[in-house]
């Protein structure tokens, strides 16, 4: 058996352990570790970002094949501007190149692509490519790919608060009408279902200002694998781990009402 066949068999064996009825509809990913991956190999950090793109393409295919409906990936945070200009410029250029090269295939796969974040500081050329890609794919219904660029969870929440305050001062809404549903509908994710699963690669155990509102009850899976080494096998492992979780949402799972009188709480 050649290497490709071995990998295929390994992935196949793992995917048999997945309960197809319990696949998360929305998966969010903090794709972290590109720089460290490259540095470890004695390469410039840009090599890690390039390899990271091919991993994203693979994970997009795998998640779609598995039956997920939404993938939301963190590509550039509001804090990433603090990196050296050379790296920031490289990333901006990479976004343009990748979009130009991949948009036709994304469209053929009936994937809708949406960019989430404040696009204002990006160059006009990138903004144009982004708007064209969004407009080309806006009616695609098979899958939604959200790419978070110049995104910050706190900034998003402040933006919603500002919008609601404006609507309230103009009389469009009453302050008493502000509730979770209304707040949710003003978020950049525009009311799509919250992610059931958040994956962060490279072993870091933090959220780094990602989807602060939407991750309220997401299951978190930390992979020690650096993003450029992440693959179908690692993604399937994350899904299997997610499926083993007991999602309680503050309640008490698998405790029938009758047993309440026997539990310690009643004494």
262 in active site: no
Note whether 32 binds Mg ion by CB under 5 A: yes
CA distances from 151 to 2, 96, 111, 212 (A): 42, 17, 21, 11
99 and 132 Cβ atoms separated by less than 8 Å: no
CA distances from 27 to 38, 52, 97, 159 (A): 26, 17, 25, 24
Binding pattern for the stretch 98-127 against ligand IPE, x by CB under 6 A and - elsewhere: ------------------------------
Segment contacting Mg ion (CB under 5 A): 2-10, 32-40, 50-58, 118-126? 32-40
Q: Which of 32, 196 has the CB closer to Mg ion?
A: 32
Binding pattern for the stretch 8-37 against ligand IPE, x by CB under 6 A and - elsewhere: ----------------------xxxxxxx-
Q: Closest Cα partner for 92 from 49, 40, 28, 44? A: 49
Q: Name the binder of 76 from Mg ion, ligand IPE, none, CB < 5-8 A by kind.
A: ligand IPE
Interacting positions 168-227 with ligand IPE (CB under 6 A):
202, 204, 206, 208
Q: Strand 197-200 to strand 26-30: parallel, antiparallel, or no bridges (unpaired)?
A: parallel
80 in active site: yes
Q: Closest Cα partner for 74 from 12, 171, 148? A: 148
Question: How far is 234 from 223, CA to CA, in rounded Å?
Answer: 8
Kindly list the residues in this chain that would bind ligand IPE in the complex (CB under 6 A). Answer: 30-36, 74-77, 79-80, 91, 202, 204, 206, 208
Positions marked catalytic: 32, 80
């Amino acid at each position: 058996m050649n290497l490709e066949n071995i990998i295929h068999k390994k992935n196949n064996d793992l995917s048999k352990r997945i309960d197809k009825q319990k696949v998360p509809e929305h998966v969010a990913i903090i794709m972290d570790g590109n720089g460290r991956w490259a540095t470890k190999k004695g390469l410039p950090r840009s090599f890690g970002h390039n390899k990271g793109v091919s991993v994203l393409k693979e994970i997009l295919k795998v998640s779609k094949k598995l039956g997920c409906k939404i993938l939301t990936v963190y590509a550039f945070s509001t804090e990433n501007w603090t990196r050296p200009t050379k790296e920031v410029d490289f990333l901006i250029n990479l976004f343009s190149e990748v979009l130009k090269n991949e948009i036709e295939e994304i469209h053929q796969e009936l994937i809708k692509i949406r960019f989430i974040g404040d696009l204002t500081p990006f160059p006009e050329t990138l903004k144009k490519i982004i708007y064209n890609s969004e407009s080309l794919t806006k009616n695609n219904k098979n899958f939604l790919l959200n790419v978070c660029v110049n995104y910050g969870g706190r900034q998003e929440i402040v933006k919603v608060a500002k919008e609601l305050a404006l609507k309230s001062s103009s009389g469009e809404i009453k302050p008493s009408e502000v509730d979770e549903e209304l707040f949710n509908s003003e978020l950049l994710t525009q009311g799509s279902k919250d992610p059931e699963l958040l994956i962060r690669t490279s072993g870091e155990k933090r959220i780094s200002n990602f989807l602060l509102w939407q991750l309220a009850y997401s299951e978190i899976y930390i992979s020690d694998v650096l993003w450029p080494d992440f693959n179908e096998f690692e993604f399937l492992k994350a899904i299997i781990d997610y499926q083993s979780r007991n999602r309680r949402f503050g309640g008490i799972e698998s405790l029938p009402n009758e047993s309440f009188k026997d539990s310690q709480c009643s004494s």
